[in-house]
Structure 1
Amino acid sequence: MDDAYTTQLTAGDSVEASGLEQLMALKEGDTFLVADGWGDMRGGADGLFAGDTRVLSRWTMTVGLLKPSRLSSGVSQDNVFFSCHTTNRPLPPMGGRSAPAGVLHIERRRFLWGRRMFERIRMVNHGIEDILLPLAFDFGADFHDIFQVRGTHRAKRGTVHTPTTDGRRVTFRYVGLDKVERSSCLAFSEPPARLTHQRAEFMFSLPKGRSMDLFIECGVDSCETPDARRWRENAVQARLAMRAKRRRGASVRGPRSPRFNDWLDQSRADMALLTTDLPTGPYPYAGTPWFSTPFGRDGIIAAWQMLWLDPSLAKGVLTYLASRQATETSLFQDSQPGKIMHETRGGEMSALHEVPFGLYYGGVDTTCLFIALAGAYASRTGDLDLIRALWPNLIAAADWMRDYGDSNDDGLIDYQRGAETGLSNQGWKDSEDAIFHADGRFPKGPIALLEVQGYAFAAWRALGDLGERLGDDRAPGWRDRAEQVRALVEDKYWMEDEGFYAVALDGDGEQCRAIASNAGHLLFTGLPSVERARRVTKRLLSAEFRTGWGIRTLELGQARFNPMSYHNGSVWPHDTAMAAAGMANYGEREAVAQILAEIYAAAAHFHLRLPELFCGFPREPGEPPIAYPVACLPQAWAAGSVFLMLQASLGLSIDAWTGSIDIADPFLPTGLERLKITGLKVGDALVDLSIRHVDGRAVVIPNHRQGRLAVRTLR
């Protein structure tokens, strides 16, 4: 274990900004909004989106023809409201007098509910004279598909009709090449003094010491006239819905240090923000702005991170993915019968098959993870009714692993994209340059990724356990299959001279000898032998991997290493968390607690909201982690990382079959003296747990136990 970056949880409690102007996001259901710190949208990577279509692309406010001076802005901790506080610059002369700067307080406040944006502009005159206030909004709706917004070129698109106005409303219409008409409506509570199809101008008379509100709504299809009542009623609904999502499952609280609890609260709020209640149950969308949709891999891993606290996410993910399981072969969609989807989209380009992502299956790992999560969910909950309902889907997924996942009959799951429009790399590191040989050469396909074999091992083993409980006589064969996978991985991927596993095998069976964090995922599945797991752990904890802010995706010094890259040397919190949980599987606790402290220190610099990834530069005294400029924020599996690392640090496991909670050699990070877990439910039983340091050791004390439930501390 490397002690180079021992970090106390009290360290790094500053909230230094990353140095970049962050876009701020709101989300509700399948609608999300991205704007700058003033609340403006300018038609870049921002806008109001519904169904993967940008229904409001430009929305900017000026006061007296100028952008107001920003005092502060941000999103509420529960992720419901965005607010920006501004003041005026000097106003132009009106009737021979002009208002000086800084006499108006203008608050811009908004939320999303029912597929529309609700906005309130509150204006307060703190001056000593009455003021004529010129306020203007510029707007537009381009109806760009989200892939256009991301930069995909379209040679042709449909027809954008000239907006129509109606006193205090503007209606936008677009007829796509798919013959679908998409429309949105923008409405004001007060009629503008001048309204065109792209600008609304107001002139308010604001007496000294008085305030007034302007209400605005924008959403798909038609809209009602905004007013204070509609604002209040919908705001209450939005806040109650978010509160209900945040209160699902058990809660975790740290010591009296408010900063650590704020991190837990922010992470839980981000997971709630990204979770959409679908007919099949709650599903954590991957992230905003680019991935605000169900992803198979991301949903499974985020649900797994939260499984010990809130099994309802896993149930929702499993049920939804089963409903989207492939039934036919398509090169364009990269699908075969039984395969679990990678991504789904609802925009025009997906409907026209300009991109394959309407329902896309180009993820080699998702099918294995689907089965493995089902096994973990069953162990956590004892819910055999769901497993029986999903059994045909689980068997179909296993058949895909056997019949399609192993394209060359070598016993390993591999991939090679079916069409040029699909993803060239189909593991979690899916950028084009993420998988390579030690000399930097790209491998020929089909490629068999290391971590995917671990997922397959976990899937076969889970299927064997579930099959035995359901009385399926194929269960012993599935267990044998798991052990065959274990033996193949240990034989074909292990590099004795490196004390590490190769990241992949290429189409010729040659090892891709790059040293990458994928091996941490293999530890997570429990596949390696104890001796090899210890050697991998030692290397992952070395300074070549460990930055002081987390674990790099690629070891320092490897070909294609770049700390500013997407997958070749950056730090992904979920990747670090899975590696930490993997180490914990083999008894490592102290290092896991240290990594948790390091990730907390990074989160403190990102305003307690972990991004999708950040750069993999080494930690320097007094300096913050370096942001990756286009990282998604928030991202579900980044938000869930703290909860998986806490579970790993505590060595906590739940077995619903025996009605027991085991806590093996628990360890709390330095600076975190106590932890309380409230409302932990196992079957019909319920318990609170208090963990605290006593005489240098972590002690677990069960409280308020209801029902039959054993809590055991193992040393």
Structure 2
Amino acid sequence: MEYRVIKENDLFLLTDRGGDITGQEYGHGLYTKDTRFLSKLTLKINGLRPVVLASGADQNYISQIVLTNPAVEVSGEAAEAALPRETVELKRVRFIYQGVLYESVTIANYNPAPASFRVSLELDADFKDMFAVRGFITGELGRKTGIEPIGDGLKMSYLGVDHVSRNLRIEWSVPPDNWEKSQDGAVVCYDMELGAGESRTLDFYLTPVIGSEQPARYPHDEAIAELRQSYREWEEQSTAIDSDLPLFNRLVHRGMQDIRILLTDLGCGPFPTAGLPWYAVPFGRDSLIAALQLLPMQPEIAKGTILTMARYQGTKNDPWRDEQPGKIMHELRSGELANSGQIPFTPYYGTIDATPLFVILIEEYVRWTDDIELLREMLPSIARALEWMDACSADEGRGFVAYSQESSKGLVNQGWKDSDNAIVHRDGQLANAPISLVEVQGYVYQAKSKLASLLTTVADQIGDRRELTEWAARLEAEAAALRERFEAAFWMESEQYYALALDREQRQVATITSNPGHLLMTGILPAGRMAAVSSMLVSRQLFNGYGVRTMAEGETAYNPMSYHNGSVWPHDNALCLIGLSQNGFQEATHKIMDGLLAAAEHFENDRLPELFCGYSTDYGMPVSYPVACSPQAWAAATPLVFIQAILGLRLDYAAREVRLRPSLPTGMQEFSVRRMRLGSGYLQVRITRRHGEYNIEIAHNTSGWTVRKESALSDSQAGTPSASSDRESRSENDLIIL
């Protein structure tokens, strides 16, 4: 990464590698509530920017940068200076806690004699809305109202067109020798006199304030201690993973650390925001999928996500925001442009898949945790979500959930591939809306069929059994009818694969893409079709050696540098992995896991980015996508899906059985899971592989569930009608009780 970013709850800081905000490059700044509160933060020594020696990005919650003084240039030539080059060290350490940015600058003199020099900080706050920073919107904005001294610091103020006052408080532990207003902000100066080997630390506190709500400032040592403790608790409360493959261990650790930094709480519990730097806000689809991926590690995050999405569930028809009753939001913004009605993100509902994913997450969360009370609480929200799906499917008699843009400032495409050119026919023509996406029909099927099963199982615990079983029966019938319609409309016999979508005329969008891979986890596919989907996912057209491409090489619209038409998205692969592993496609599962592990070695800090280019392994390394978010929630959570795939884990909630079909990736011979939450207890499992044979050891099981080992299937067996039925009713000889 060419930038450095730290975040805590709703406040994040984006700088260059030296820790500076220049005000011009890449949207650097200090942000909260979609507003840039700090647009310039430049550290200088004797009027020059120091040289970067080290800039760490391995710890998400604290940034440590080491700098030194440059040479002094006179008439273009190096000259002897009172301060020789590389003799003063400047160490910047910063973190965020409870809405305040803490920064310490420690200046050390490594000259053999006393040294005199000036250290200065140039600061400014432009209070720009995030959409204006990114150049998306050029609407009416407010005005800065001045800079004034306040106690041990100064304050920069702004009044928005939304009539909300915003200000930035800049305070210090050591009073400067002087500070003054500049043309574009303020300059704070310290005249340093340091003896040989002497050092001095300057602490600064930067606090964004909206309206009259001013966060409290804590003593520096107390704040960092509390922040570190919160990370320790996050780790201690999460499932512990270990293996004899160090890269995998690092990838899981990085993923969990990245998820932690992306958590935000709007009052309903913590949930993952989409990604940094531009999407540190609630995103329906992204937050729901990341929470789904997190279930084996931190199921409680799903609860915060569910409650947050329910809080903002649509209540009315509002074309400006693409809102309908029962619909789950796409994106929530709270900056000046949103507050003043110039953009529709308050929230915006232009997403076709968040609503079924919301129901799916509730179902899966309840299966993992036995949180029947949450299910009871969410039944009205679930009912409204299902009513929206039914109304959407009935629109124009299509029979499938479909989308079309209503808001003039909304999204043209409203699935996860939401760029304007993502849904394209094989002749290069863009599909006309309404558009029915292939994976969304699978999500709807999964939401209805699994809810029917869950309601039948827990009916006595949550309400009127007769009423709930009748509801379940209706859902089962609706799911079966959808499955039949879907197969007739989306299957492409000539390609032995499923179409990407149906367009306005109900024509198949026949382009070969990764989207049908999501169907494997939904249950909508007939048993005989699953092998065909698995085979296509790991074919040369779609699989580039590191992962499944979003679009197959050779398609008219294929472009390895495209955002959605040929790139590789880790989360897309993860959703394919869930279905592949659940249905026994071990060879394909291995291929994708091995590819993503190989890719991760080449990215900074063992971090899978949002996406990377679709070029094959012939290049010797994955090709980075230039503006990918990193860290990004569903990419960070992708290694956590490996855990389900490695265990071959399936939950049979009605039978209270955990079924395991282990499959370790290349290079891994031992794998263990500790503190995995299941029901009201925990599960500890150790897998070893010797000479191709797997041994499963259950070291601890307080879940009350029975653990069974399933016999392995080859990919040629997996997904066949006989194998599928076998998985549901194996004999005692095939299912080994552990």
Of 60, 68, 72 in structure 2, the residue corresponding to residue 87 of structure 1 is: 68
Q: Determine if the alignment matches structure 1 residue 564 to structure 2 residue 561.
A: yes
- Provide the C-alpha distance between the structure 2 equivalents of 1:223 and 1:337, rounded to a whole number of angstroms: 33
- Provide the C-alpha distance between the structure 1 equivalents of 2:471 and 2:680, rounded to a whole number of angstroms: 31
Aligned partner of residue 36 in structure 2, secondary structure: strand
The alpha carbon displacement at 1:706 in A equals 3.3
Of 307, 311, 324 in structure 1, the residue corresponding to residue 299 of structure 2 is: 311
Aligned partner of residue 313 in structure 1, secondary structure: helix
Q: In structure 2, do the counterparts of structure 1 residues 313 and 223 end up closer, same or farther at CA, with 3 Å as the change threshold?
A: closer
Of 335, 339, 363 in structure 1, the residue corresponding to residue 327 of structure 2 is: 339
The alpha carbon displacement at 1:267 in A equals 0.7
Q: 1:62 maps to which residue?
A: 44
> Residue 242 of structure 1 contacts residue 273 of structure 1 at CA under 8 Å; is this kept in 2?
no
> Residue 215 of structure 1 contacts residue 226 of structure 1 at CA under 8 Å; is this kept in 2?
no
Aligned partner of residue 75 in structure 1, secondary structure: coil
Aligned partner of residue 395 in structure 2, secondary structure: coil
Q: 1:75 maps to which residue?
A: 57
- Provide the C-alpha distance between the structure 1 equivalents of 2:588 and 2:495, rounded to a whole number of angstroms: 22
Q: 1:352 maps to which residue?
A: 340
Q: 1:136 maps to which residue?
A: 120
> Residue 281 of structure 1 contacts residue 317 of structure 1 at CA under 8 Å; is this kept in 2?
yes
The alpha carbon displacement at 1:681 in A equals 2.4
Of 576, 579, 594 in structure 1, the residue corresponding to residue 591 of structure 2 is: 594
Q: 1:700 maps to which residue?
A: 696
Aligned CA-pair RMSD = 2.0
| Residues 373-410 of structure 1 deviation map (CA, whole Å, 9 limit, x = unaligned) | 21112222222211111000000111111123542223
The 5 Å alignment of 1:328-477 reads 328-468=316-456, 469-470=458-459, 471=465, 472=468, 473-477=470-474
The alpha carbon displacement at 1:427 in A equals 0.3
The alpha carbon displacement at 1:155 in A equals 4.2
Q: In structure 2, do the counterparts of structure 1 residues 409 and 463 end up closer, same or farther at CA, with 3 Å as the change threshold?
A: farther
| Residues 199-251 of structure 1 deviation map (CA, whole Å, 9 limit, x = unaligned) | 11211111111111010111113999999x82111111222223323333312
The alpha carbon displacement at 1:463 in A equals 2.5
Q: 1:241 maps to which residue?
A: 230
> Residue 367 of structure 2 contacts residue 679 of structure 2 at CA under 8 Å; is this kept in 1?
no
Aligned partner of residue 563 in structure 1, secondary structure: coil
> What TM-score, normalized to structure 2?
0.90
2:667 partner amino acid: G
Of 269, 285, 290 in structure 2, the residue corresponding to residue 302 of structure 1 is: 290
The 5 Å alignment of 1:148-159 reads 148-159=132-143
Which consecutive residues of structure 1, in runs of 5 or more, have no partner in the other structure?
1-20
Q: Determine if the alignment matches structure 1 residue 673 to structure 2 residue 673.
A: no
> Residue 33 of structure 2 contacts residue 334 of structure 2 at CA under 8 Å; is this kept in 1?
yes
> What TM-score, normalized to structure 1?
0.93
| Residues 459-485 of structure 1 deviation map (CA, whole Å, 9 limit, x = unaligned) | 111221233232212211101111111
| Residues 256-281 of structure 1 deviation map (CA, whole Å, 9 limit, x = unaligned) | x5433222111110011111234212
- Provide the C-alpha distance between the structure 2 equivalents of 1:702 and 1:542, rounded to a whole number of angstroms: 36
Per mean C-alpha deviation after superposition, the further-off stretch among 363-372 and 67-76 is 67-76
The alpha carbon displacement at 1:130 in A equals 0.8
The alpha carbon displacement at 1:697 in A equals 2.3
The alpha carbon displacement at 1:659 in A equals 3.6
Per mean C-alpha deviation after superposition, the further-off stretch among 165-174 and 229-238 is 165-174
- Provide the C-alpha distance between the structure 2 equivalents of 1:686 and 1:707, rounded to a whole number of angstroms: 5
Q: 1:126 maps to which residue?
A: 110
- Provide the C-alpha distance between the structure 1 equivalents of 2:529 and 2:645, rounded to a whole number of angstroms: 19
Which consecutive residues of structure 2, in runs of 5 or more, have no partner in the other structure?
75-79, 460-464, 712-738
- Provide the C-alpha distance between the structure 2 equivalents of 1:64 and 1:225, rounded to a whole number of angstroms: 34
- Provide the C-alpha distance between the structure 2 equivalents of 1:423 and 1:531, rounded to a whole number of angstroms: 36
> Residue 91 of structure 1 contacts residue 98 of structure 1 at CA under 8 Å; is this kept in 2?
no
Q: 2:165 maps to which residue?
A: 181
> Residue 678 of structure 2 contacts residue 703 of structure 2 at CA under 8 Å; is this kept in 1?
no
| Residues 505-549 of structure 1 deviation map (CA, whole Å, 9 limit, x = unaligned) | 011111111111101111221211222211121111012111111
> Residue 296 of structure 2 contacts residue 643 of structure 2 at CA under 8 Å; is this kept in 1?
no
Q: 2:616 maps to which residue?
A: 618
Q: In structure 2, do the counterparts of structure 1 residues 502 and 226 end up closer, same or farther at CA, with 3 Å as the change threshold?
A: closer
Runs of 4+ in 1 over 4 A off after TM superposition: 222-227
- Provide the C-alpha distance between the structure 1 equivalents of 2:490 and 2:273, rounded to a whole number of angstroms: 33
Per mean C-alpha deviation after superposition, the further-off stretch among 276-285 and 128-137 is 276-285
1:263 partner amino acid: L
Aligned length: 688
- Provide the C-alpha distance between the structure 2 equivalents of 1:359 and 1:138, rounded to a whole number of angstroms: 36
Q: In structure 2, do the counterparts of structure 1 residues 681 and 168 end up closer, same or farther at CA, with 3 Å as the change threshold?
A: closer
The 5 Å alignment of 1:623-702 reads 623-664=620-661, 666-702=662-698
- Provide the C-alpha distance between the structure 2 equivalents of 1:533 and 1:272, rounded to a whole number of angstroms: 35
Q: 1:195 maps to which residue?
A: 179
Q: Determine if the alignment matches structure 1 residue 101 to structure 2 residue 99.
A: no
- Provide the C-alpha distance between the structure 2 equivalents of 1:549 and 1:421, rounded to a whole number of angstroms: 36
- Provide the C-alpha distance between the structure 2 equivalents of 1:335 and 1:278, rounded to a whole number of angstroms: 21
- Provide the C-alpha distance between the structure 2 equivalents of 1:405 and 1:177, rounded to a whole number of angstroms: 40
Q: 1:12 maps to which residue?
A: none
Q: Determine if the alignment matches structure 1 residue 517 to structure 2 residue 523.
A: no
Aligned partner of residue 86 in structure 1, secondary structure: strand
Q: 1:502 maps to which residue?
A: 499
- Provide the C-alpha distance between the structure 2 equivalents of 1:595 and 1:226, rounded to a whole number of angstroms: 47
> Residue 98 of structure 2 contacts residue 215 of structure 2 at CA under 8 Å; is this kept in 1?
no
Aligned partner of residue 605 in structure 1, secondary structure: coil
Aligned partner of residue 13 in structure 2, secondary structure: strand
Q: In structure 2, do the counterparts of structure 1 residues 318 and 166 end up closer, same or farther at CA, with 3 Å as the change threshold?
A: closer
- Provide the C-alpha distance between the structure 2 equivalents of 1:103 and 1:309, rounded to a whole number of angstroms: 47
Q: In structure 2, do the counterparts of structure 1 residues 226 and 491 end up closer, same or farther at CA, with 3 Å as the change threshold?
A: closer
- Provide the C-alpha distance between the structure 1 equivalents of 2:37 and 2:270, rounded to a whole number of angstroms: 25
- Provide the C-alpha distance between the structure 2 equivalents of 1:465 and 1:133, rounded to a whole number of angstroms: 73
The alpha carbon displacement at 1:657 in A equals 4.5
The 5 Å alignment of 1:269-288 reads 269-288=257-276
- Provide the C-alpha distance between the structure 1 equivalents of 2:679 and 2:150, rounded to a whole number of angstroms: 57
Q: In structure 2, do the counterparts of structure 1 residues 673 and 424 end up closer, same or farther at CA, with 3 Å as the change threshold?
A: same
> Residue 573 of structure 1 contacts residue 612 of structure 1 at CA under 8 Å; is this kept in 2?
yes
Aligned partner of residue 423 in structure 1, secondary structure: coil
Per mean C-alpha deviation after superposition, the further-off stretch among 460-469 and 562-571 is 460-469
Q: 2:578 maps to which residue?
A: 581
- Provide the C-alpha distance between the structure 2 equivalents of 1:296 and 1:101, rounded to a whole number of angstroms: 51
Q: Determine if the alignment matches structure 1 residue 547 to structure 2 residue 515.
A: no
> Residue 590 of structure 1 contacts residue 649 of structure 1 at CA under 8 Å; is this kept in 2?
no
Aligned partner of residue 90 in structure 1, secondary structure: coil
Aligned partner of residue 372 in structure 1, secondary structure: helix
> Residue 167 of structure 1 contacts residue 192 of structure 1 at CA under 8 Å; is this kept in 2?
no
Per mean C-alpha deviation after superposition, the further-off stretch among 583-592 and 136-145 is 583-592
Q: 2:101 maps to which residue?
A: 117
1:134 partner amino acid: R
Aligned partner of residue 408 in structure 1, secondary structure: helix
Q: In structure 2, do the counterparts of structure 1 residues 90 and 263 end up closer, same or farther at CA, with 3 Å as the change threshold?
A: same
1:693 partner amino acid: R
The alpha carbon displacement at 1:144 in A equals 0.5
- Aligned-residue sequence identity (percent) comes to 35
| Residues 414-458 of structure 1 deviation map (CA, whole Å, 9 limit, x = unaligned) | 011112211100000000000011111112221100000000001
> Residue 344 of structure 1 contacts residue 358 of structure 1 at CA under 8 Å; is this kept in 2?
yes
> Residue 674 of structure 2 contacts residue 685 of structure 2 at CA under 8 Å; is this kept in 1?
yes
1:65 partner amino acid: G
Q: In structure 2, do the counterparts of structure 1 residues 55 and 525 end up closer, same or farther at CA, with 3 Å as the change threshold?
A: same
Q: 2:718 maps to which residue?
A: none
- Provide the C-alpha distance between the structure 1 equivalents of 2:533 and 2:701, rounded to a whole number of angstroms: 39
The alpha carbon displacement at 1:167 in A equals 7.3
